[in-house]
Amino acid sequence: MQNRQKLGFYTAVSLVIANMVGTGVFTSLGFQLYDIKSPFAIVSLWLVGGIVALCGALTYGEIGVVLPRSGGEYNYLSKIYHPLFGFLSGWVSVTVGFAAPVALAAMALGNYVNKIFPDVNPIWLALIVVGIITVIHATNLKLGSGFQRFFTLLKVVVIVFFIGAGFFIEPDHITTILPQQGSWKEIFSPAFAVSLIYVSYAYSGWNAASYLAEEIENPRKNLPRSLFIGTLVVTVLYVLLNFIFMYTVPTETLTGYVEVGYLSAVAIFGAKLGNMMGLVIALLLVSSISAMIMAGPRITKTMGEDLHFIRFLSRTNKNQVPFVAVILQSVITVVLILTAQFESVLTFIGFSLNLFTFFTVLGIFIIRSRKMSDQAGYKTFGYPVVPIIYLALTIWMMYFVMTTKPVESLYGLLNVGVGALVWFLGTRLGAKPKVV
């Protein structure tokens, strides 16, 4: 039997970090400041988002050890509930769940570079970057792993340097993260809950290692560790980074501005070096694009293995890389870049993605009731409190999204409905799905 290439622990951690640290943390603060004025509330917002992600990661660690197969939610929901439920989560991931964030990150990269070099066409640059990274990940897992580790390490070093440099300047305004009058009221407001959805998008990717569970060395040990450590590192970086943004630039200036990282870089390093930091931020996005191109197709491959009518998507090359699934995801990404419709797509996929992670975490109680994890070796820290915290905060977020953004929520559910139609048509035309 041919030896399969495996991902080491550090590659798994880098995959989690790279999937999480994308465009969200560098773009969302300006919009949060429209309704949340208190720096204390903003820092709390990012801290709560980190707590939600950590609770999810701790729970996924046990679920991943009990059900050690690549595919993430597709695999978990198929086994815990029903193959249809798993297919629907996979459908959302395959159609827009990964392709849209890749497109957004590639376009953001193009726009950052265009600010420094106006002659560079951001669309063409985005397409070229996606094309090169697709070739790397469609060819060889070892090459892709090395590429991923390098750019993730670069990302973490740059962000740590950015945060450290920010503490050494003396801004001409005063920023305090201590609670002020009205701060607690903002934390318990609907605006806080809605902003938490966008923060959860910035934290999305904490479950990335679960998509490649079969390809990780010693998954019983390394999968839970990589999920937790990767998420913890990003939580610390996010909280500190958003504080530095507000510490170096007045909140009034940041409000409504997209490239908050650029404004902060100019305040810290000056105009010339600030421009260069904008270019460095663009390079950081290469890691995010790479991680999502690496992780997303593993869901598609697993679905192809189970479902006869999409069996072609499970094809691999001599290096066991699902090249058909990689190419398919990147084709969808290219379409989104060229049509520039991905930003509107992102407003509704958050709801449906949170829906499936909610039911996955809820599944830990079903797993425990069936005694499936008795021999797993890893148990969720703080069970049952940790998964309950995740479920409660996710319900809180989703309630306010449904009540304040009903159109986007309905679009998300409509996409799920289309997936259900594809399932029923596909299973009628082909063989019954198998659950491995």
Following CA atoms 391, 392, 393, 395 in sequence, which dihedral angle do they give, to the nearest 10 degrees? 80
Write out the two tokens for 171: 């801004």
Strand partners, 7: 216
**Could you say which DSSP state residue 309 is in?**
G
| 394-428: pLDDT as tens digits | 998 888 878 877 887 788 888 889 989 988 888 77
| 355-403: pLDDT as tens digits | 899 999 999 999 999 887 666 677 888 999 999 999 999 998 888 878 8
**Could you say which DSSP state residue 191 is in?**
H
Instruction: Residue count of the chain, please give it.
Output: 436
CATH topology of domain 9-429: Amino acid/polyamine transporter I (1.20.1740)
Q: Domain map of the chain by residue range?
A: 9-429
pLDDT in tens, the chain (436 residues): 344 567 778 878 887 887 787 666 777 788 788 888 888 999 999 999 999 999 999 999 889 888 888 778 888 999 999 999 999 998 888 888 888 888 888 888 887 788 778 898 989 999 999 999 898 888 776 776 677 677 777 778 888 888 999 988 888 887 777 777 778 888 888 888 878 877 887 787 788 777 777 778 887 788 888 889 999 999 999 999 999 999 998 888 888 776 787 788 888 888 777 777 777 777 778 877 887 888 788 888 888 888 887 888 888 888 778 889 889 999 999 988 888 655 566 666 677 778 899 999 999 999 999 887 666 677 888 999 999 999 999 998 888 878 877 887 788 888 889 989 988 888 776 555 555 5
The pTM of this model reads 0.80
Long-range contacts of 309-313 (CB under 8 A, 24+ apart): 309/426, 309/427, 309/429, 309/430, 310/426
Distance, in Å, from the CA atom of 8 to the CA atom of 223, rounded to the nearest integer, reads: 10
Q: Which residues, at least 6 apart from 407, have a Cβ–Cβ distance to it below 8 Å?
A: none
Distance, in Å, from the CA atom of 149 to the CA atom of 17, rounded to the nearest integer, reads: 10
